[in-house]
Structures are given as C-alpha cells and as structure tokens.
Homo-oligomer: A and B are copies of this chain.
C-alpha cells in the first residue's frame, strides 16, 4: 500500500512541466491575439523555422518541431487558411509538399518574435541567469532520456 507522504504533487517534475508549458503557451496566445495577430503559439513554431529556412517539407518541419507528420497536416491547413504559408508540390518528389512563407507570413515575423521574447522575459523574471542555464541543461537531459522511448513513433 503506497504512502500518501510519498507524493509531493506540487513539486513533481511532471506536474511542473505541464503547468509551466501550458501557462506560457496560453499567455503567448493571448499576447498574439491582443496584438491582432492571427497566429497561435504552435503555428509560430512553424513560422520561425521557415523564417530560418523556407521551403521545407511537412516531414522536415515535423522532425524539427518534434511533432508527428499527422499534426503537421492540420497545422499547415490552419496556416494556409490564414494565408501565412502556401503548400507547393515538390517537382522532384511528388509525394512531398514544400511549405513557403507568404508575404503576409513574412510580415508578421518581427512582431511574433518580439512578443515571444517578452513572454520569455516575463516567465524568467527574477530567475538567476546561471540557475536558468542549469535548469535548461537539466531539461535537455530529460528530453534525451524521454526521446529514447519515443523511437519508431512518427515515422
């Protein structure tokens, strides 16, 4: 029979990761909406990658964002519906779509990035920079530990 004192829910890593990621994502969505930008935080993750390297396939975007190819379908649907990207069939491999930023998609990048930075600054307010670096190091290790269990998914 497990002891109740064994579980410190408020301080559990799993709970804290869920809560912090959710609050940050929600607040970023609110900042985007408040600025009149019709993009969500998840769509932003795609847009920022395309800003670095335009014309990637859905599969490549999936790999870079750790999302499944299935998730990319709806995400690109949404981005296309809002006129931020366009799907272009790859002439050399007709299975693939290449995703390109539209002028509208390019034009909102600066605002999106500014708001994302504001959000990050708000999240880390009062946190010692060295402790933050340490925390990020731990999270990267957690990511490596869990990615192993995820092999052979999303393929």
Q: Residues of A with Cβ closer than 8 Å to B? A: 1-2, 4, 6-7, 9, 11-28, 30, 45, 48-49, 51-52, 66, 109-110, 113-114, 116, 119-120, 122-127, 131-132, 134-143, 145-147, 149-150
Q: In the bound complex, how far is the Cα of B149 from the Cα of A39, in angstroms?
A: 19
Chain B, residue nearest A12 (CB):
B120
Q: Which of A23, A127, A134, A147 has the most CB of B within 10 A?
A: A23
Q: In the bound complex, how far is the Cα of B22 from the Cα of A17, in angstroms?
A: 9
Q: Are A143 and B16 in contact (CB under 8 A)?
A: yes
Protomer copies: 2
Q: Are B116 and A14 in contact (CB under 8 A)?
A: yes
Q: In the bound complex, how far is the Cα of B153 from the Cα of A125, in angstroms?
A: 22
Contact of A2 among B2, B110, B136, B143 (CB under 8 A): B110
Given A2-B109, A116-B14: A48 touches B9 (CB 8 Å cut-off): yes
Q: In the bound complex, how far is the Cα of B66 from the Cα of A113, in angstroms?
A: 27
